Amino acid sequence: MGREVSESCIDSLLTEMVSTYCNRFYANKPELAARRIEAIGYQVGHQLSERYTMDRPRFSDHLEAIKFICKDFWSELFKKQIDNLKTNHRGTFVLQDNRFRWLTRMSIDQSPENGASEDTSIMADNKAVQSMHLYFPCGIIRGALSNLGIPCAVSADISNLPACSFVVRIKA
C-alpha cells in the first residue's frame, strides 16, 4: 500500500477546518458552516470513489455500490469495515460503525481536564462540535455514491456513542 502520515495530521486538520468554518467564517450561521464542511467531504469522497474502483468491475445496482462503501472504501479510510448494514429495501440504508474513529479520537481531545467541571453546557457544546464534524464523513459518503451514479442524502446519528450510524437516503 501507499504512503501514510501520522493520524494526528488528519485529526488536527479536521479539527481546524471545523473551527475555521464554525468559529471564524460563519460563527452565527451554523447551517452555512455545515454546508461548506459537507462540500469539502463531498469532493474527497467523489475523488476517492473513482480511485478505489479502478481495478474492479462497475456496479450493477445500488446495493453493490453501498456494499463497496461499507467494505473496501471504509477499509481504505479507517482500516476497518462498517460493522452493520441495514436497509428498508426502499432506498434507505443505515451504515453503522461501532467505534467511529473520528468520534472516539475527538471525544478524547475534547474531554474537560477535570471531570467535575463537566456541566451540561459543555456537554451540549461537545454535541454541537461533534455534529459539525460529522458533516465531513457524511459529505464523503454522498460524494462517493454520487460519483457512482447514485444521488442521495446522507445524515449521521450519534445517539449510541461511540457508535455512529450514517443514514443514506437514495433519491428516486
Q: CA dihedral defined by 36, 95, 50, 149, rounded to 10 degrees?
A: -90
Cell representation of residue 62: 445500488
Tell me: does residue 12 bind other proteins (CB under 8 A). yes
155 binds other proteins (CB under 8 A): no
With binding defined as CB under 8 A, does residue 31 bind other proteins? no
* Cα 142 to chain centroid, rounded: 9
| Nearer to other proteins (CB atom), residue 94 or residue 146 | 146
Work out how close the CB of 2 gets to other proteins at its nearest, in angstroms, rounded to a whole number.
Answer: 7
Regarding 103 and contact with other proteins (CB under 8 A), the answer is no
Q: What is the largest CA-CA distance in the chain?
A: 55
- Name the residue type at position 7: E
130 binds other proteins per the rule CB under 8 A: no
Kindly state whether residue 142 participates in binding other proteins, applying the rule CB under 8 A: no
Helix, strand or coil, per DSSP, at residue 3: coil
Please check whether residue 150 is in contact with residue 59, taking contact to mean a CB–CB distance below 8 angstroms.
no
The single-letter DSSP state of residue 94 is E
Contact status: 156 vs other proteins (CB under 8 A): no
Binding site for other proteins (CB under 8 A): 1-10, 12-17, 19-20, 25, 36, 39-41, 43-44, 46-51, 53-54, 56-60, 76-77, 79, 147-149
